[in-house]
Amino acid sequence: MQPSSCPDVSIRPGPPMKPLIKYVPMIVTVGVAVILAVHGRIAQPLHYNEFADGSAVFGIHHAADVISNTGFALVAIWGWLTLRPRRDSDQLRAGWPGYRLFLIGLFLTAFGSGFYHLAPDNARLIWDRLPIALACAGLLVGVRGDTRPGLKTEIEATVLGLFAVAGVAWWAYTARGGADDLRPYLLLQGLPLVLIPLWQAIYRAPRADRIAFAGAMVLYVVAKVCEVFDHGIADALGFVSGHTLKHLIATMATAAVVWGLTRRFSERRACIAVCPVKLDLG
């Protein structure tokens, strides 16, 4: 019996385009780190904690900014229930330590960000930034594992997770001295936007994976733009602030990531269900 051909739903990448190109992500990472080091400290904007949302629901101040974090928890639960049972599969094994950290960070973001927006100040902001940093670290490790099958990423997830904690702790420590420095935190937030497309291009990730992550990256950039124009969007639209939109669009970005991962298994099941078996009687 000879099975008929089915769509290729493997995440196993092809060979790199050229041997030397595989060093580009490392060169970019070192280059960005050097630029940030030379640049000097990057301080938080003076009025960062002054958000446009003034809504109140059932006694909850800044209700729209608080409640709009719920989506992060829902996406994290969806991802955990769908992906964890398949963590030992060929499609997920190498990336799971990173994606596990991503989902945990995403779930904690719903609570950390909600807690922060109840009464925004620098003390509460720590609990907003910490899970976001962990989610970014996890996403980096997860995609790196995807593009390098067989790679053991447990140690990488631990090291990058510790860097995420240290980066937020560095900001909190420097903020207490009146000279806050966001560079490590910003580095961890920015690297996924650069390294993920590079890794997927260099190691020829499946087209569907590229589309899912590209959509997530675009949505994340749009979310950051909404964050910057928080008050302007609130003044223009009236019914919603830019920061609330940021939460909603960022939730869509995380959902795109989880959808891209769960798609691997739904496509494989569909292939098994519909691909006929040919009898080779020759």
Structure-model confidence comparison of residues 21 and 219, the more confident one: 219
CA distance 202 to 13: 9
CB atoms within 10 A of CB 235: 12
- pLDDT tens digits along 203-215: 888 888 999 999 9
In a 3-state reduction of DSSP, which class is residue 62? coil
What letter represents residue 139's amino acid? Answer: L
Tokens of 133: 């940093």
In our burial notation (b when 16+ CB lie closer than 10 A, e otherwise), range 57-79 reads eeeeebbbbbbbbebbbebbebb
- pLDDT tens digits along 227-251: 999 999 999 999 999 999 999 999 9
pLDDT above 90 (res 172)? yes
Most confident of 1-10, 84-93, 146-155: 84-93
pLDDT in the model for residue 21: 85
The proportion of the chain whose per-residue pLDDT surpasses 90, expressed as a percent, equals 77
**Bridge partner list, 278:** 2
Q: What separation in angstroms does the CA of 60 have from each of 67, 70, 101, 211, 227?
A: 9, 14, 30, 38, 21
CA distance 3 to 51: 59
Residue holding tokens 């940093």?
133
Residue 229 φ/ψ, nearest 5 degrees: -100, 40
pLDDT above 70 (res 260)? yes
Q: How many residues does the chain have?
A: 282
Catalogue all structural domains in the chain, each as residue range(s) with its CATH number.
51-272 (1.20.1070)
Question: 271 with 9: CB under 8 angstroms?
Answer: yes
Q: List, as own/partner pairs, every contact residues 201-204 make where C-beta atoms lie below 8 angstroms and the sequence separation is at least 24, other chains included.
A: 201/17, 202/16, 202/17, 202/21, 202/22, 202/24, 202/25, 202/147, 203/13, 203/14, 203/16, 203/22, 203/147, 203/148, 204/13, 204/14, 204/15, 204/16, 204/17
